[in-house]
Amino acid sequence: MRYTARWAATLGLTATAVCGPLAGPALAAPGTTPASLYAPSALVLTVGHGDIAAMAAPDRAVVLTCAPTPSGTHPAAGAACAELRAADGDFDALTGRADVLCTKEYDPVVVTVDGVWQGKRVSYERAFANECVKSSHGTSLFTF
C-alpha cells in the first residue's frame, strides 16, 4: 500500500511537470498575442559631425528593426538587416567597398548604434574620415 501511494504521487508529479497543472488559470488569455518566436532586434543609428559621439550632435537618426520582419525609419531596412545578419551582428566586420572612390577630405562623421541585436544589448561607435567613406562602409547599413 505504501508503494502504491508513492508510485501514484510520483506519476502525479511527473504528469504535472510534463503537462502542467490540470487546474488553474489559462496560460494565455483568449485574444492575446503570444510572445514572439524571434529574439528582439531593434537598433537606433545616429550620425553626426565630429570625431567622437560625445562631442558631436546627431544630424540624423533612424530606427532599424530586423525581427520578425525588417522595418523602421531606415531607408533600406531590408538590405541593412540582411547585411547585419551576414556579419553576425559584428559591426566591425563590415568593410569598405572597393568600387567607391572617396576624396581624402577630412570632415569626420561619427556613427553610433544602440539597441538590441538578436536579444543582446549592443552599443557601437565609429568615426569615418568623411561622409563618403561612411556611406561606402558596407552596402546599406550606414547609408541613411
Q: Is the pLDDT of residue 12 over 70?
A: no
Q: What is the mean pLDDT of residues 94-118?
A: 90
The pTM assigned to this predicted structure is 0.69
Residue 108 lies in a domain: yes
- Split into its structural domains, the chain has a count of 1
CATH label of the domain that carries residue 57: 3.30.350.10
Find, among 128, 47, 92, the residue nearest to 84 by Cα.
92
Rounded to 10 degrees, the C-alpha dihedral 12/17/23/26 comes to: -170
What does the DSSP assignment read for 43-54? EEEEEEESSSGG
Percent of the chain with pLDDT over 90: 49
Per-residue pLDDT tens digits for 21-34: 444 444 445 555 54
Domain that holds residue 114: 42-136
Helix-, strand-, coil-residue percentages of the chain, each rounded to 5 = 30, 25, 45
Burial class (CB in 10 A: 0-12, 13-18, 19+), 19: exposed
Q: What is the mean pLDDT of residues 110-121?
A: 94
State the average pLDDT for the chain: 79
Residue 61 lies in a domain: yes
Residue 87 lies in a domain: yes
Residue 34 lies in a domain: no
Q: Is the pLDDT of residue 79 over 90?
A: yes
Residue 23 lies in a domain: no
pLDDT band, very low/low/confident/very high, at 38 (cuts 50, 70, 90): low
Determine the pLDDT at residue 84: 93
Determine the pLDDT at residue 100: 85
Q: What is the mean pLDDT of residues 115-128?
A: 94
Q: What is the mean pLDDT of residues 49-56?
A: 92
Cis ω on the peptide bond leading into residue 68 (within 30° of 0)? yes
Angstrom distance (rounded) from CA 140 to CA 119: 22
